[in-house]
Amino acid sequence: MINVFYFDLDLKNSINGVSSYKNNIIPYLEANRNIILHYVVFSDKFTEPKVEEQSSRKLYKLPVSSFSKLFTDDIDLKSISFFVNEIKNCKNIVLQFNWINLCNLAYLIKKQITCTTILVNHCISWKEYVSSDYKLFYELHNAFTKNKAIKITNKQILYEIGSYTYIDHIITVTDCAKKSFTQLFKIDTHKLTKISNGLNPSLIQPQFNHNKNKLRKQYGFDEVEKLMIFAGNINLQKGIFDIVSSLSLLLKKHPNFRLIIAGPGNYEGILKLAKNNWSRITLCGSLDKQTLYDFYAMSDMGIVPSYVEQCSYTCMEMMHNSLPIIVSDVDGLKEMVNDDCGLRIKVDFKKDKASLNQKDLIEKISFLLENPEKAKRLTKNAMRYALANFTAERMAEETVAVYEKTLSGKTELIKNNIQSKVISSSTPFVSIIIPCYNAQKYLQECLESIFKQSFTDFEVILINDGSSDGTDQLIKNQTDTRIVYLQNESNLGISYSLNKAIKLAKGKYIARMDADDTMHVERLKKQIDFLEANLDYGLVGSLHNVVDPNGMPFYKIEVPEENKEIDLGMLFFNPISHPTVIMRSELAKKNPYNIEYSRCEDYELWFRLSRKTKIKNIQIPLINYRTHPNNTVMHHQKEMQQNVMELLSDQLDKRGIEHTTEELVLHCAIGFGMGKRFFNTSERLENLNNWLNKVFASENISSKHTKTELEKFRRFLLEKCVE
């Protein structure tokens, strides 16, 4: 049996696709004999966490302090502790989340119990910027539709991408959303499954036997009127304002045309736009389902004109209710409504705004009104298609299959871990080196992430660098025999500690790790597999997630992937994240850290190693880099920047690039990410261009990189400097 915990948010007066999804899938999950379904709801109205028995299932009521900042308050953490304690003895646990902002909850629960996490993604969040930050939307939309790569810098989106790290599998409701995850967010396709939304046809009850004219008389509409219904939230991205703006032109062709608007939202905006046509609009507010279906039955057509939309329940209901339908030619709507089922209208995404193509809109509405037989044929096709593809029973069956598949995959991983422990040799394959200075607070979590690795043939060398907290006792309390404990009598610094550990390391490979970070379960395996298959590479890093003190992801840090990109970038910024690195042991032993660069010891080492071997950054976040008030970088930022300036000055000299003090300051401002704070005048931007010309023209640079590569890198740096 699978214990499924279905998570929801108590958002009162909220009408959305998630609530429709819940109402349709829950009955089928409850009826499945292989599932025990539990319901978990978060609310800012609850005062204490509690469990209620509801027939065959449990309802967990968990208080939160605020929906805007979930799981950051003591109230929220108390709720999570209560929930984990209640379910810790359950087997085959699947947590299903339906809101993106619940993804971080997966991390907090996974820290404490073994479970599988599933996210059903109901929207493409970056597309919501169509109404709040159109410039950002347009940049992403343009790259997405043209299949172009784009560097994402928006912190909210980066935070979202980071939060997906803790989800085992993502269900999208459209192919469009699946493509967004793989193309823009670089999420592995094996982690994604598309399952369309569905309805229970028996609950729709199309009004076949209801006389259209009788219904119109009941609700006060004239028999000769041509009724088009819009059902949904009244806001900019739903496209309804474009419909209202086109009313005058529509009424010239069809004087009996009437627009019915059912749903909550900005009625004031509608009335302003329709000032001369108030008599031809009916504003209904939110309708109950039975009344809404009556309106579908007496209408001549329905319209879903959204700028962005996924697997729309409104569209689905119209199809199931045998209503001729027009939808915008976007996202999931064009997946749902093919040419045999309805009509699609163009949306013009211009640089300054999005809008429905008015000419196309009027033509499509006119076509349905003037060709009732063709409209009827489209309607029949649409209903057949909906019954075949958009049912709740199919949706639930495919969802349960994802539960089973994901659980099965995790079981296989556990088996492999056990087997690998059995065959481990007495000489470890990897030496994981962790310097520890006052690391008591986070070290245990760091070690737990290491001991969960899918690759287990390693030793962990812990160097206590003169800690004054409980680090020593915490290490001595460890029972894993793979731990090697070294101590410095006083705080001698990271470079000294690393060199000391590397000398004693027995592994074929050296893996770096910081005591306050955690690693992805596949980190060692992925990096070792790469080095074993690519003997000309001596060092491999990866992307990393930046997380807060509680381990919640903020965003993902991206670094260049290939050796040539890394080599070029290194002269401007550190292109390798130190805690993510694994290198060949003989390389590390022959090239110790330079203690003269105590605040950028890694950066200096990369320069030396790049002349001896090739370097790669795997484009997956394999480390969670924790930020907190006691981070070394926060306390020694000025020293670090001074160290870096000395290092880069030395490297420019070695490449024969002469530079003044002013040019060095400008050069370092790029790598320090100062952006507009420094490059805030036309003079400085001109100096930047001149400096890049000088660097790229140098023999050392121009001989190793093509003009195309240099121009691409120039654009990247210029974008970085004006952010």
Q: What is the CATH number of the domain that holds 556?
A: 3.90.550.10
Least confident of 109-113, 247-251, 576-580: 109-113
Q: Tell me the pLDDT tens digit for each residue of 535-574.
A: 999 999 999 999 888 887 777 888 999 999 999 999 999 9
* Residue listed under structure tokens 């893996």: 511
Q: Is residue 648 part of a domain?
A: no
Helix, strand or coil, per DSSP, at residue 7:
strand
Residue 15: which pLDDT band, with cuts at 50, 70 and 90? low
Dist CA 66 CA 76 (whole Å): 9
Q: What Cα–Cα distance (Å) separates residue 144 from each residue in 248, 385, 698?
A: 35, 28, 36
Annotate 447-488 with DSSP letters as a single string: HHHHHT-S---EEEEEEEES--SSHHHHHHT---TTEEEEEE
What are the tokens at 190?
A: 């094996």
Q: How confident is the model at residue 86, as a pLDDT?
A: 95
Q: How confident is the model at residue 65, as a pLDDT?
A: 84
Q: Is residue 405 part of a domain?
A: no
- Which residue intervals of 111-209 are DSSP H helices? 134-145, 155-163, 175-183, 201-204
8 Å CB contact between 198 and 27: no
Residue 418: which pLDDT band, with cuts at 50, 70 and 90? very low
> How many Cβ atoms sit within 10 Å of the Cβ of residue 575?
22
Q: What Cα–Cα distance (Å) separates residue 396 from each residue in 54, 303, 483, 646?
A: 21, 28, 46, 61
pTM score of the predicted model: 0.77
Dist CA 389 CA 195 (whole Å): 10
Q: Is residue 352 part of a domain?
A: yes
Check whether 415 has a pLDDT greater than 70.
no
Q: How confident is the model at residue 202, as a pLDDT?
A: 80
Residues 6+ apart with CB under 8 A from 334: 327, 344
Q: In what order do the strands lie in the sheet with 116-121?
A: 50-54, 57-63, 35-43, 2-9, 93-97, 116-121, 169-172, 192-194
Q: Tell me the pLDDT tens digit for each residue of 46-101.
A: 999 999 988 778 999 999 887 766 676 777 889 999 999 999 999 999 999 998 88
Q: Which residues of 613-631 are buried (b: 16+ CB within 10 A; e: fewer)?
A: ebbbbbebbbbbbbeeeee
- Which residue intervals of 60-174 are DSSP H helices? 74-87, 103-110, 134-145, 155-163
Residues 606 and 718 in one domain: no
Dist CA 39 CA 60 (whole Å): 6
Residues 511 and 536 in one domain: yes
What's the domain count of the chain?
4
Helix, strand or coil, per DSSP, at residue 512:
strand
Beta pairing class for 116-121 and 347-349: unpaired
Find the mean pLDDT for residues 346-365: 97
Residues 123 and 219 in one domain: no
Residue 672: which pLDDT band, with cuts at 50, 70 and 90? very high
**In the chain, what percentage of residues exceed pLDDT 70?**
95
Residues 296 and 377 in one domain: yes
Q: Is residue 505 part of a domain?
A: yes
Q: Is residue 310 part of a domain?
A: yes
Residues 566 and 435 in one domain: yes
Residue among 288, 280, 296 nearest 263 (CA): 288
CATH number, domain at 129? Answer: 3.40.50.2000
Residues 532 and 486 in one domain: yes
Indicate the residue among 194, 212, 239 that finishes a domain.
194
Indicate the residue among 135, 168, 194 that finishes a domain.
194
Dist CA 608 CA 288 (whole Å): 70
Q: How confident is the model at residue 72, as a pLDDT?
A: 67
Residues forming a β-bridge with 62: 42
Residues 363 and 336 in one domain: yes
Beta pairing class for 582-584 and 509-512: antiparallel
8 Å CB contact between 326 and 344: yes
Q: Is residue 147 part of a domain?
A: yes
Dist CA 716 CA 340 (whole Å): 46
Find the mean pLDDT for residues 665-679: 93
Burial of 649: CB neighbours in 10 Å, binned 0-12, 13-18, 19+: middle
Residues 206 and 182 in one domain: no
Indicate the residue among 596, 631, 666 that finishes a domain.
631
Residues 180 and 232 in one domain: no
Helix %, strand %, coil % of the chain (to 5): 50, 20, 30
Beta pairing class for 537-547 and 582-584: antiparallel
Residues 123 and 209 in one domain: no
Helix (H), strand (E) at residue 59? strand 57-63
Q: Is residue 407 part of a domain?
A: no
Check whether 416 has a pLDDT greater than 50.
no
Find the mean pLDDT for residues 694-717: 93
> How many Cβ atoms sit within 10 Å of the Cβ of residue 428?
21
Find the mean pLDDT for residues 152-169: 87
Residue 159: which pLDDT band, with cuts at 50, 70 and 90? confident
Check whether 678 has a pLDDT greater than 80.
yes
| Domain coverage including residue 372 | 201-390
To the nearest whole number, what is the mean pLDDT of the chain?
Answer: 92
Residues 159 and 215 in one domain: no
Q: Is residue 646 part of a domain?
A: no
Check whether 344 has a pLDDT greater than 50.
yes
Dist CA 519 CA 551 (whole Å): 12
Beta pairing class for 35-43 and 57-63: parallel
Find the mean pLDDT for residues 13-17: 64
Find the mean pLDDT for residues 279-304: 95
Least confident of 148-152, 180-184, 330-334: 148-152
* Strand residue runs (E) in 521-597: 537-547, 553-557, 582-584
Q: Tell me the pLDDT tens digit for each residue of 198-238.
A: 999 887 755 555 688 999 999 999 999 999 999 999 999 99
Residues 465 and 601 in one domain: yes
Check whether 413 has a pLDDT greater than 80.
no
Q: Which amino acid is at 125?
A: S
Q: How confident is the model at residue 534, as a pLDDT?
A: 96
Beta pairing class for 347-349 and 354-356: antiparallel
Check whether 129 has a pLDDT greater than 90.
yes
